[in-house]
Homo-oligomer: A and B are copies of this chain.
Amino acid sequence: MPNKIPVGIVGATGTVGQRFIQLLEGHPWFEVSWLAASDRSAGKSYAEAATWRLATPIPQRVADTQVRSAAPDKDTPRLIFAALDATAAKEIEPLFAEAGCAVVSNSSAFRMAPDVPLVIPEVNGDHTELIKTQSWYKKNGGFMVTNPNCSAIGLVMALAPLHRRFRVEKVFVATMQAVSGAGYPGVPSLDIVGNVIPYIANEEQKMEAESCKLLGTISDGTVAPADLKLSAHCNRVAVEDGHTESVSMKLGKVAHAEEIIATWEEFRCFAQKLNLPTAPEQPVIYERAADRPQPRLDRDRGRGMSAVVGRLRPCNIFDWKFTVLSHNTIRGAAGAAILNGELLKAQGYLD
């Protein structure tokens, strides 16, 4: 595969790292050539180091690859996908940007930094401009780009096309989030079998802040967050994959149900036009059955990259209510980052 772009994965052994490996297998542009994880894993083969929890086997080539320490070395490729927890990311990711890497991060550590783009290609692909304001970039071409929290991404995909046309002013959202969002070992089974946990640390704050940045506008190298009020209630439920969210929204303009649905169904962007390999054909799918979307049935739509919306109906307080679902470890994590990597390639930032 002489023409593929070599990529590295930092945090390769965790839940999101595993999804990176699964989704990059057979990728038409990228090829995994470098894997790093914690010092505990360094030196082992990937198969030994990872407690692989996905339903497809580890690709053989990856299984035999030796895991390295989480620091740039002479073999580190330019493009790095980072799947670290926030504490580790804070320390480790800058080392790679410093070393000239293009760091595409799934962590929350730098998402709200003023010069770091927080990007969903379908929503605000132009925010990558912020890269040019990063001191690393100016120095040696290294930079950092992030994707949003797994609970924010489905919501924002559903809101973005409506915001452009009808202006979204206020949003209530209550989430029912899958256990894979907490990583591995993550949520103890005693806490979730036959149960609900009405709390996920810092999640509500992340959803509220990230949504405004994602829907904001960029000019002169600064992102002005959207003037949108969002109130989030985050809950954990006994679902493997797929975050379901109950949403009420107030719009700035009158919108009829069929207009809203058409706006979702027709929503496309340059990710689709450019045929980015991981971009879903239809970013937002509307399901008309009364009891959809459901995580078990709808999380894999668009190969896990579409947000699925349903139950649009009037709200007693705001204008409209609906339910949105997205796959939290594909669209909400590894898939989001890979699509960001593809966007960067298409925009020339990897040249």
Contact = CB atoms under 8 A, between A and B. Distances in A.
Interface string A287-319: 000111111111111000000001100011110
Residue of A172, A182, A239, A321 with most chain B CB atoms under a 10 A cut-off: A172
Contacts of A246: 174, 198, 233, 235
A191 B189 contact: yes
A176 B246 CA distance: 11
Contacts of A195: 239, 294-297
Interface in A307-337: 310-311, 315-318, 321, 323
A6 B238 CA distance: 41
Given A199-B290, A231-B248, A316-B231, A186 B188 contact: yes
A192 B193 contact: yes
Contact of A237 (B185, B238, B315): B238
A213 to B, nearest CB: 15
Q: How large is the interface on A (under 10, 10 to 19, 20 to 34, 35 or more residues)?
A: 35 or more
Contacts of A238: 189, 193-194, 237-239
A239 B196 contact: yes
Contacts of A248: 172, 231, 233
A1 interface: no
The number of times this chain is found in the oligomer is: 4
A54 interface: yes
Nearest to A293: B198
A188 B189 CA distance: 5
Contacts of A270: none
Nearest to A298: B55
Max count, chain B CB within 10 A of own CB: residue among A189, A198, A294: A189
A196 B54 contact: no
A318 B246 CA distance: 17
Contacts of A12: none
Contacts of A345: none
A180 interface: yes
Nearest to A187: B189
Contact of A189 (B56, B186, B199, B318): B186
A281 to B, nearest CB: 13
B54 A237 contact: no
Contacts of A316: 208, 229-231
A113 interface: no
Given A54-B297, A188-B189, A300-B55, A237 B198 contact: no
A240 interface: yes
A172 B318 CA distance: 10
A183 to B, nearest CB: 9
Nearest to A310: B198
Interface of A: 15, 53-57, 170, 172, 174, 176, 179-180, 182, 184-199, 201, 208, 229-231, 233, 235, 237-240, 244, 246, 248, 290-301, 310-311, 315-318, 321, 323
